[in-house]
């Protein structure tokens, strides 16, 4: 009996070990994830700001609509990962969150209520896929398109957004709010 329990315990620890990160791996994937999220943010925001300067929200919004996914797809290829931005208050249905992503956003919201620091999360799922998650927070220059209508965001901008995204609920934010999540899945 004891032997059986022992064998079982060894087996369980073996199985669970193989689906867990070593500390070293955890650090490596955290660094990689951060680098990819930053590069994607930079690419998206540089392009966005160019469009904003050229033609304001009326030009920048259709640009986001058409170019956000080709830009993230190109970077996904470059880094051999799948890059996703998601939110618990969605604008585009293309970015809808998985159950795990919702759980993580809920836990970040909770940490914010407790005034605690939000740290990236790396983990392995049941299919052995490695994931990186990190919070996306609202900065001052996001408010033109994600702010409070009639305060930090004009009614005109809101109506342009609503004409493309009828179900948009990604407004009403203030600086520092949790806007959503970077979710990066590694192919290896
Ligand atoms: C010119 C308007 C504009 C500005 C400025 C802007 N966004 Fe957006 N945002 C959009 C549009 C349009 C979408 C939907 C298309 C897409 O996927 O990017 C979007 C989508 C997103 C998404 C994906 C989740 C979802 O709800 O679909 C996140 C996250 C996001 N924005 C964060 C930000 C942050 C953070 C900033 C500031 C650094 C910012 N945005 C600035 C227009 C804007």
pLDDT of amino acid 134: 98
Judge if the beta carbon of residue 179 lies within 6 A of ligand 1.
Answer: yes
Domain boundaries, the chain: 23-186
pLDDT surpassing 90 at residue 138: yes
pLDDT of amino acid 17: 46
pLDDT surpassing 60 at residue 31: yes
Band the pLDDT of 188: cuts 50, 70, 90. Answer: confident
Band the pLDDT of 21: cuts 50, 70, 90. Answer: confident
pLDDT surpassing 90 at residue 151: yes
What's the gap in Å between 59 CA and the centre of ligand 1?
14
Judge if the beta carbon of residue 57 lies within 6 A of ligand 1.
Answer: yes
Judge if the beta carbon of residue 160 lies within 6 A of ligand 1.
Answer: no
Judge if the beta carbon of residue 136 lies within 6 A of ligand 1.
Answer: yes
Judge if the beta carbon of residue 53 lies within 6 A of ligand 1.
Answer: no
pLDDT of amino acid 171: 98
Question: pLDDT above 70 covers what percent of the chain?
Answer: 90
Tell the residue nearest (CA) to atom 2 of ligand 1. Answer: 145
pLDDT surpassing 90 at residue 9: no
Band the pLDDT of 5: cuts 50, 70, 90. Answer: low
What's the gap in Å between 162 CA and the centre of ligand 1?
13
Task: Tell me the average pLDDT of the chain.
Answer: 92
- Over the chain, what HEC string results? CHHHHHHHHHHHHHHHHHCCCCHHHHHHHHHHHHHHHHHHHHHHHHHHHHHHHHHHHHHHHHHHHHHHHHHHHHHHHHHCEEEEEECCCCCCHHHCCCHHHHHHHHHHHHHHHCCCCCCCEEEECCCCCEEEEEEEECCHHHHHHHCCECCCECHHHHHHHHHHCCCCCCCCCCCCCEEEEEEEEECC
Tell the residue nearest (CA) to atom 6 of ligand 1. Answer: 142
- Ligand 1 closest atom vs CA 63: 12
List, for residues 63-120, the tens digit of each pLDDT value.
Answer: 999 999 999 999 999 999 999 999 999 999 999 999 999 999 999 999 999 999 999 9
Largest alpha-carbon pair distance within the chain? 75
pLDDT surpassing 60 at residue 8: no
State how far the Cα of 96 lies from the Cα of 87, in Å rounded to an integer.
7
State how far the Cα of 160 lies from the Cα of 62, in Å rounded to an integer.
9
State how far the Cα of 54 lies from the Cα of 141, in Å rounded to an integer.
16
List, for residues 43-67, the tens digit of each pLDDT value.
Answer: 999 999 999 999 999 999 999 999 9
Judge if the beta carbon of residue 61 lies within 6 A of ligand 1.
Answer: yes
């Amino acid at each position: 009996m004891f032997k059986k329990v022992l064998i079982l315990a060894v087996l369980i620890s073996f199985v669970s070990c193989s689906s867990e990160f070593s500390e070293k791996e955890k650090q490596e994937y955290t660094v990689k994830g951060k680098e990819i999220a930053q590069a994607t943010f930079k690419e998206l925001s540089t392009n966005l700001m160019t469009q904003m300067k050229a033609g304001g929200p009326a030009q920048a919004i259709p640009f986001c609509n058409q170019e956000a996914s080709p830009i993230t797809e190109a970077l996904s290829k470059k880094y051999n990962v799948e890059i996703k931005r998601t939110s618990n208050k969605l604008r585009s249905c293309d970015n809808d969150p998985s159950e795990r992503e919702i759980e993580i956003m809920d836990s970040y919201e909770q940490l914010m209520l407790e005034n605690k620091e939000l740290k990236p999360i790396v983990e392995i799922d049941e299919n052995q896929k490695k994931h990186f998650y990190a919070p996306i927070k609202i900065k001052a220059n996001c408010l033109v398109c994600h702010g409070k209508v009639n305060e930090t965001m004009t009614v005109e901008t809101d109506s342009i957004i609503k004409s493309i995204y009828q179900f948009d609920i990604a407004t009403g934010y203030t600086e520092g709010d949790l806007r959503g999540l970077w979710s990066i899945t590694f192919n290896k």
